Structure 1
Amino acid sequence: MNETLQLRTRYRVTSADTDMHARLKLSALVNYLIQSAIDSAELLGFGFSELKKEHLFWVLNRLTVEIYRPIKWNETIEVETWPKDIERIFYIRDFIVRDAQKQVIAKASSAWLAIDLVSKRPGNFNKEKMELFTRLKDVHSLEYSPEKLGSTINKGYEREVVPSYFDIDLNKHVTSTRYVDWMMDCFFSSFHTVNYPSFLSINYMKETMQGEQLGVMHDAQDPTHHFEGFNMEQDKVAFRGKIIF
């Protein structure tokens, strides 16, 4: 049974997923992880379609990723993922990314919420499905939980973004990967030329809708960079992030 809980999916890195130096974009790596999580959940019977029957939907709340080398254009990589445990209201899912030689090139852990469609508050699905989330609680990718980020930024807005049509996903809010792009866009091209991220943590605090203005703040404490996105329409923090190069 444990083997069926661990899904392995192969991806070929296309040019659309890379930067101008033919390296996998951080947001594209996050997208591979999310797509693998979606496929795994569907196969195990608690995907988006099944949760909708229980008036619930999945929301990614926290993600922490360690990256051990740049991933390049045309590489074939394998993402392994499994549901690991339940921590209070969070459903923990881990990931391991391997290259064609089976070398581990990234590891990640994520925390998800099952949100009630009506109340928009965390809920639970039936006990039989919940049991699947604890069978592999001793199988770890990272040896720690996805990071909870506190507020560490006191400076003004560095840049402002207004989400447009193609920033929005099927839940009609800003898709998870766009926040990663907005953080990475805080750097000049010359910085990216000589730097590649080795670590990402991001917390999704509040959904952002199309047309809502977001102020993205950035505080550099090399090699660690902290970010906070403030939704000016809602007067709330939308996300917090940390990237290490």
Structure 2
Amino acid sequence: MSKKYEETAVIAFNNTNARLQLTQNSLTVLFQELAIHHSDSLGYTLHYLSEEQKGWAITNWHILIDRFPKYGEEVTMQTWSPSCRRMQAERSFRMIDSNGNIIARASSRWIYMDFKRRRPTTISKSMEEDYYSGLESIIKKENYKLPKRDEENLVLEVGLSVRRSETDSNGHTNNTQYITWAMDLVPDYIYDGYHSYDIGVVYRRECYRNSEIIAKTYVKDIAEEKEVITCFLDANDNSIIFCEVATLWGRKD
């Protein structure tokens, strides 16, 4: 029997931008909350996982957006796990508008962690059975590869320091925070004149409160579109990459 978790939501004002559209970061926050609620419904609540000192750590996002819903719009969100075995799981998401149109979809990969030992741990057989949906991934044959950066395309380099409000219950920088930073570093002429329709994220290393980060943003022209990559590096050792965010932007109609 297939298992898919579903919720409806109304887009709140504080999740929108100056155009009253859902922001890229808020989209991932809504999907993340949906995943948490799905786990809660299966009995793997945050309280339970905290007591066990275990939990899910995301390693990849790939999000495709047809359009961003607006303030006050009601949407339906669905999530399911196409695969769950050994130490990792895949999770699919989709957002559907009131007309039944899929307006956003995402694939993600998660590692099950033992936070006490700070390493991946094996998913139990019962957990595998609880999460596995029997459904296909929303994005077939996803490999989560990001485009390569070219130093010739570097347009911006800034320093960041992780604040208390930017960390999660595990003490790590929250995965959605990197998307917030990346969107803030997109040049204005792209953010205002184009629309993002493809977001890829790879999380490579943990960072914590007060961690010092160097963020480098690269812009590449692809026909009439823009490819923007932001790489988050350890300010004390530039060989360490915390996260990379790649976005594709098309011209607004």
State the identity %: 19
Output one character per residue of 1:7-30: Cα deviation in whole Å (capped at 9) or x when no partner: 111121111111111111100000
CA 1:107–1:158 in structure 2 vs 1: closer, same or farther (change >3 Å)? same
Residue 209 of structure 1 is matched in structure 2 by 208
1:143 to 133, 140, 143: 140
1:101-140 correspondence to structure 2 within 5 Å: 101-136=99-134, 138-140=135-137
CA contact (8 A) 1:21 1:193 kept: no
Deviation of 1:132 after TM superposition, in Å, equals 3.3
Question: How far, CA to CA, are the matches of 1:188 and 1:85 in structure 2?
Answer: 37
1:59-138 correspondence to structure 2 within 5 Å: 59-86=57-84, 89-136=87-134, 138=135
Question: What amino acid maps onto 2:204 in structure 1?
Answer: M
- List gaps (5 residues or longer) in structure 1: none
Question: What amino acid maps onto 1:69 in structure 2?
Answer: R
Residue 161 of structure 1 is matched in structure 2 by 160
Output one character per residue of 1:170-229: Cα deviation in whole Å (capped at 9) or x when no partner: 211211111001111112444322222101010111122111111111111132212210
CA 1:66–1:88 in structure 2 vs 1: closer, same or farther (change >3 Å)? farther
Aligned length: 242
Q: Give RMSD over aligned pairs.
A: 2.1
Residue 229 of structure 2 is matched in structure 1 by 226
Question: How far, CA to CA, are the matches of 1:48 and 1:149 in structure 2?
Answer: 31
Q: Scaled by the length of structure 2, what TM-score is found?
A: 0.87
CA 1:62–1:47 in structure 2 vs 1: closer, same or farther (change >3 Å)? farther
Question: How far, CA to CA, are the matches of 1:98 and 1:243 in structure 2?
Answer: 22
CA 1:166–1:229 in structure 2 vs 1: closer, same or farther (change >3 Å)? same
Question: How far, CA to CA, are the matches of 1:99 and 1:225 in structure 2?
Answer: 28
- List gaps (5 residues or longer) in structure 2: none
Question: How far, CA to CA, are the matches of 2:103 and 2:237 in structure 1?
Answer: 39
Q: Scaled by the length of structure 1, what TM-score is found?
A: 0.90
Output one character per residue of 1:29-80: Cα deviation in whole Å (capped at 9) or x when no partner: 0000100011111212334334345442111111100000132111111110
Question: What amino acid maps onto 1:62 in structure 2?
Answer: N
Residue 182 of structure 2 is matched in structure 1 by 183
SS of the equivalent of 2:151 reads coil
Residue 46 of structure 2 is matched in structure 1 by 48
CA 1:243–1:122 in structure 2 vs 1: closer, same or farther (change >3 Å)? same
CA contact (8 A) 2:23 2:68 kept: no
Residue 247 of structure 2 is matched in structure 1 by 243
CA contact (8 A) 1:64 1:146 kept: no
Question: How far, CA to CA, are the matches of 2:103 and 2:16 in structure 1?
Answer: 16
Output one character per residue of 1:105-132: Cα deviation in whole Å (capped at 9) or x when no partner: 0110110011112221111131111123
Higher relative strand content:
2
